[in-house]
Amino acid sequence: MAAARHFRTFLFDLDGTLIDSIPLIMASFRHTMRTHLGAVPDDTAWRAGFGTPLRPQLRKFARDDEHASRMVDTYRAYTDAHHDRLLKSYAGIEGALGALRGAGAQLAVVTSKTHALARRGLARCGLEEFFGVLIGADDVREHKPHPAPVLAALGRLSADPADAIFIGDSPHDIEAGRAAGVQTAAALWGPFPREALAQALPHHWLAEPTRIAALAR
């Protein structure tokens, strides 16, 4: 773990970090696989792609691009229908964000979800007020683990990478943050085990959301 640091800019992944959307994501995956393949692969095949855009994830299971497009449509329709019922914020997140805002920190979301759906999730969980800046999959051409979405968020905030930290639950988040030149923190309340996150070499570990505020100046 890196030596104690304090930051002025906090970038957050969305799913598995700010909001517990894992039940929704897995239900959407299983429904899509049953509909288009007639069988559901092991959950680990889908979880490995958490943190990356939807279409490339589904293309791995599709026969061709047209089949992948139909799978995307099915997945999104199921997600839209069940979104509000299966979504909630993690305990302690709202308080942590309030503490960061009270300390004068800048906040942004960096997600591989589309901008509109990410905004809907934040609103459903009562977190939208904290984030004036959100970078979604349709806001950039390259996606995590590429640094582009992290750099886009820093640009929107006019923030110094040396004074920023990216908090996420997947190895893709950590890799993107490191490539963008910011400090990174692994959120251990998400779906990835510590050993998987450790391979991406996060600078910091966060056991629970209540630990986030201690990183603010």
- Domain residue spans in the chain? 9-20+88-215, 22-82
* pLDDT number for residue 124: 96
Burial class (CB in 10 A: 0-12, 13-18, 19+), 150: buried
Tokens of 196: 């998987």
Ranges under pLDDT 50 in the chain? none
* pLDDT number for residue 2: 56
CATH fold of the domain at 9-20+88-215: Rossmann fold (3.40.50)
* pLDDT number for residue 120: 96
Whether 9-20+88-215 and 22-82 share one fold: the answer is: no
Closest to 197 in 3D by CA, of 18, 12, 51: 51
Question: Which helix (H) or strand (E) segment is 173 a member of?
Answer: helix 171-180
Task: Identify the sign of the CA torsion 129, 20, 11, 77.
Answer: negative
* pLDDT number for residue 123: 97
Q: What pTM was estimated for this model as a whole?
A: 0.92
In whole angstroms, what is the distance from residue 127 CA to residue 211 CA?
Answer: 18
Residues marked active site are found at 13
> Which of the following CATH numbers is that of domain 22-82: 1.10.12, 3.40.50, 3.30.420, 1.10.150?
1.10.150
* Cα-Cα end-to-end distance for the chain: 19
